[in-house]
Amino acid sequence: MRATALLRAAGVGAGDEVVVPAFGNVEVAEAVIQAGAQPVFADIDPVTYCLDATAVEAAVTPRTAAVVVVHRFGRPADARRLGEVGRRHGLLVLEHRESDAPYDETAQRRERAAYLDAKLRGVRTPEAGAGHTYQQYVVRVPGNGRPDRDAFARAVRARGVDCRVPVKTPVHRLPAFRRYLSLPETERAAEETLALPVDASLTRREMQRIVSACNALGGPIVVGSTAGFGV
């Protein structure tokens, strides 16, 4: 992973700690290990699903050498505040971005995301935020955490809508990285989030099916114009 090379090039290695998110793929923590350092997990911001600057600062110790910031689901992290934490403590701050899509594809995803924002009921839709490219359209399913989210997902799939749990197990709960610490926002997000389709190729009929399937479970079906959804 590129992060390993960057950490090594900056002199990060044995005896150093690197602050990383636990909400996401294991590859970031593995990259830190491959550089010879120790990953330290910090909690996320519940809106962006990226590292929370206050949580990062609380995780800093005399051994901390770097922070790896992962921009999640197409929503950028608060790079300004995280950069300020890095400068205050003399830390290397690396940013890991998901692959960018072509402009036209991003514009179409944003259009479909706006349609879902306006039509969905009974789930908490993502906050748009500056620069959100909606690589995944991640909602929160209200209720009793994982049992209700999983039941909701099964019911939506039964209605012909493909959806997925974006993060099944936070990294700090995996056997190889198990840490006995509480990351409440990370754990809550892992139990409540569900990614709905927002691909640029989706047709109006497919978007209507997503809304109907979700609203039949989480709230009243919204009947109205699809004006502005240009497909």
Q: Kindly give the residue spans of alpha helices, DSSP state H, lying in the chain.
A: 2-9, 27-34, 53-59, 79-89, 103-119, 146-158, 184-192, 204-218
Is the confidence at residue 225, as pLDDT, over 90? Answer: no
Looking at residue 218, its pLDDT comes to 63
Q: Tell me the mean pLDDT in the region 8-19.
A: 95
pLDDT, averaged across the chain: 91
103-218 has CATH 3.90.1150.10 classification:
yes
Task: Please state, in angstroms and as integers, the Cα–Cα distance from residue 199 to each residue in 4, 101, 156, 168, following that order.
Answer: 31, 11, 17, 21
Looking at residue 1, its pLDDT comes to 61
The phi, psi pair for 110, rounded to 5°, reads -65, -35
Q: Can you give the residue ranges of every domain in the chain? A: 2-96, 103-218
Is the confidence at residue 72, as pLDDT, over 70? Answer: yes
Quote the percentage of the chain above a pLDDT of 70: 94
Q: Tell me the mean pLDDT in the region 32-44.
A: 97
Looking at residue 36, its pLDDT comes to 96
Looking at residue 54, its pLDDT comes to 98
- Classify domain 2-96 at the CATH topology level: Aspartate Aminotransferase; domain 2 (3.40.640)
What are 207-222's pLDDT values in tens digits? 999 999 999 986 433 3
Is the confidence at residue 98, as pLDDT, over 60? Answer: yes
Looking at residue 102, its pLDDT comes to 87
DSSP at 195? E
